[in-house]
Amino acid sequence: MAKFIPVDPFDIVIFGGTGDLSRRKLLPALFHRWLDGQIPESSRIVGTARSEMDTKEYRKMAREACESASGDNWDTKEWSKFEKFIEYVSIDATQEDADWATLKSFLTLDDNRPCVFYLATSPRLYVQICEALGKAGLSEGNTRVVLEKPIGTDLESAKAINDGVAQVYAERQVFRIDHYLGKETVQNLMVLRFANMLFEPIWSRNYVDHVQITVAEDLGLEGRADYYDKSGALRDMVQNHMLQLLCLTAMEPPNQLDDDDVRTEKIKVLNALTPITGEAAKKQTVRGQYKAGVKDNKPVKGYLEELSSETVSSTETFVAIKANIDNWRWAGVPFYLRTGKRMSQRHSDIIIQFKPTPHSLFGEGYESANKLVIRLQPDEGVRLFVQIKEPGPGGLRVKSLPLNLSYAESFTVRYPDAYERLLMDVVRGNLSLFMRKDEVEAAWTWVDGLIEAWEKSGDRPEAYTAGSDGPLAAAMMMDRDNRAWWEGS
């Protein structure tokens, strides 16, 4: 049974405390950590935003959010204890006359007590808020600032944010969060690789044929039209989530699970990625944009219709990439990345496809290659496909079946979701699951080259039907290499 170790008492201030992220993720995450006994009673949670409301109203909003997230596990008695930690201060952090004195009155500001400032706001406000915090005397001692993705929209804007924040907070105080790194199966990826002698010797070009990383969504814009049309799938998913998954899959073993040891190995992978520019972008990438289709036997709008605008947009809602890592371990092994909206099903997987046996002893017509499937969502688990004899008389028939580790079946207790884990790591000061400044910039350097190639080509994204598995060109890209996307359940 899982044992949760309590953290030390802390203060957390959530900028954008009335926003969608706070209501859907942050407040429920903190409440669930309270239910599991990780948050001490003397901790303090302060929501802040421009909205005019008092603490009583904010607690009511927080209760509705946490009750919705808890479902059948709602505990009114525990909520009555938890809500006493919650305060609200109305602050427009972009204004010079913001009421920092009231905010500071709720904080302990002790060098031995962590004080976390979580910026659940637009990234364009990060530097401005940090500067205001610095002027208010809220950047010294044991203070930490959490930055949500995306950090910028390109290398130049990412550097501007990083440099601006660095004027106020030291790098050890900055936690750039990517919630994918808090998922249990992502954490398990490192354990699988580095705690099992079975895998580490074969985790290389000598035995791996290729790697697939898919993050497929079955939803459309869902109220994010303004943001998404300026971003697209490459900036929204590939630059952060997918490159982080690629790094954890491909990195060398760190000397230890220390903050900077892990992050240094990830940066080496990013720096080894072959740039995709010019003509290479046409051969190694596919862009798509969904059109009207059917989901759950109901018609759904196309991307342009969801924008509610007559403007023709060339923003991609799907991207597939054949990436290569120029280092000793992975030379010649393609990494196929794929993400898209309005696809046939919601799933996120990392597929390690091993090479087939050098000689087929059992005839043709069966798959002789092992496959490791690491499912991140919706049903977290790990499956290793091996070849076995199919029972029965009449000859020797070989079938590929999985050795299955399902989190839902193996661990009957509820385990923390990504934000719950990462919030507790912020309080502990553990930076290993958070991106370093040069890591963010290395990712943008690679992505910017691809964006430039797309812009120069002038090609529009290929249309694909909502509810499908993406553009035909993505399947053809794999077919040219005599491979296919994994669509297993």
Q: What angle do CA 447, 236, 478 make, to 5 degrees?
A: 65
Q: Please tell me the distance from the alpha carbon of residue 87 to that of residue 29, in angstroms, as a whole number.
A: 17
Active-site residue, selected from the candidate residues 32, 179, 241, 347: 241
Token pair 């964006």 is at which residue? 451
Q: Please tell me the distance from the alpha carbon of residue 454 to that of residue 440, in angstroms, as a whole number.
A: 21
At 213, list the tokens: 């990383």
The helix (H) or strand (E) run that includes residue 178 is none
**10 Å Cβ neighbour count for 425?**
19
Q: Please tell me the distance from the alpha carbon of residue 123 to that of residue 130, in angstroms, as a whole number.
A: 11
Q: How far is CA 444 from CA 58, 218, 248, 263, 349, in A?
A: 37, 26, 17, 16, 23
Phi first, then psi: give them for residue 251, nearest 5 degrees.
-70, 160
Amino acid found at 99: D
From 264, 268, 286, 267, select the one nearest 276 (Cα to Cα): 286
At 229, list the tokens: 């049309």
Q: What angle do CA 142, 146, 150 make, to 5 degrees?
A: 160
Q: How far is CA 340 from CA 150, 242, 310, 344, 465, in A?
A: 17, 12, 23, 10, 12
Helices (H) then strands (E): counts for the chain = 17, 17
CB-based contacts of 145: which residues, under 8 Å, 6+ apart?
A: 116, 117, 118, 119, 130, 133, 165, 169, 173, 174, 175
At 328, list the tokens: 């000793």
Q: Give per-residue burial for 350-366: e unless 16+ CB within 10 Å, then b.
A: bbbbbbeeeeeeeeeee
From 141, 35, 49, select the one nearest 92 (Cα to Cα): 49
CA 479 from centroid of its chain's CA atoms = 28
Q: Please tell me the distance from the alpha carbon of residue 94 to that of residue 97, in angstroms, as a whole number.
A: 9
Q: How far is CA 351 from CA 98, 213, 233, 432, in A?
A: 50, 6, 20, 24
Q: Please tell me the distance from the alpha carbon of residue 385 to that of residue 366, in angstroms, as a whole number.
A: 13
Query: Is 241 an annotated catalytic residue?
Result: yes
Q: What angle do CA 85, 101, 38 make, to 5 degrees?
A: 25
What are the residue numbers of the active site? 241
